[in-house]
Amino acid sequence: NFEHASHVTMSVMKLLSRIVAPDVTNAPTDTDEALHDHTYGITSDPMTQFAVALSALIHDVDHPGVPNSQLIKEETSLAAVYRNKSIAEQNSVDLAWDLLMDDAYGDLRNTIYVTKTEFLRFRQLVVNIVLATDIMDKDLGALRKGRW
């Protein structure tokens, strides 16, 4: 629902503000590269910052209110469409992306990306961020554990 999306988005923006404008008193600040590394590169990447904010807002669009495992158990049409994998999350991305691609949002799209490469990168960022919210997916969990 909108209240949940608002809360998640506000929380993410607070987290981003701490990453983008960190307290660098204990961080190496010799170079721009050191700050870039300290902030995971997000300080120098407005597209990633926007992708994170947008993903927070859309991550539960049209959420059915039950876990993916229940959608699979009930053999819902959504489960079939998404092949029993991150069902609610993929549906949220698809619905939100379709809306973003509407003609009414052309100016917004032109602000987010200009080239095909930027478009593909932005899409991949949004998909990866929203799919990362599926905390019950074993494969995604293994990938997270492998990275950290």
- Sign, CA torsion 123/125/130/136: positive
Q: Which two tokens stand for residue 98?
A: 């379709």
Residues 73-82 pLDDT 10s: 999 999 999 9
**Would you state the pLDDT for residue 17?**
80
Quickly state the pLDDT bin for 131 (edges 50, 70, 90). Answer: very high
Distance CA 110, CA 89 (A): 25
Type of residue numbered 137: D
Match 């997916």 to its residue by tokens. Answer: 137
Least confident range from 10-14, 84-88, 99-103, 123-127: namely 10-14
Give the pLDDT of residue 54: 96
Q: What is the rounded average pLDDT of the residues 111-130?
A: 97
Residues with Cβ within 8 Å of 145's Cβ and at least 6 positions away in sequence, in order, are none
Torsion of CA 129, 115, 82, 77, to 10 degrees: 110
> CA-CA distances (angstroms) from residue 135 to 49, 99, 122?
22, 25, 22
Q: How confident is the model at residue 145 (pLDDT cuts 50, 70, 90)?
A: confident
Tokens linked to 44: 């120098």
Mean pLDDT over residues 14-38, rounded? 66
Mean residue pLDDT across the chain: 88
More confident residue, 91 or 35: 91
How is residue 97 written in tokens?
């992306």
Query: DSSP readout, 72-93?
Result: HHTT-HHHHHTTTSSHHHHHHH
Select the more confidently predicted residue: 110 or 13: 110
In the predicted model, is pLDDT for residue 66 greater than 70? yes
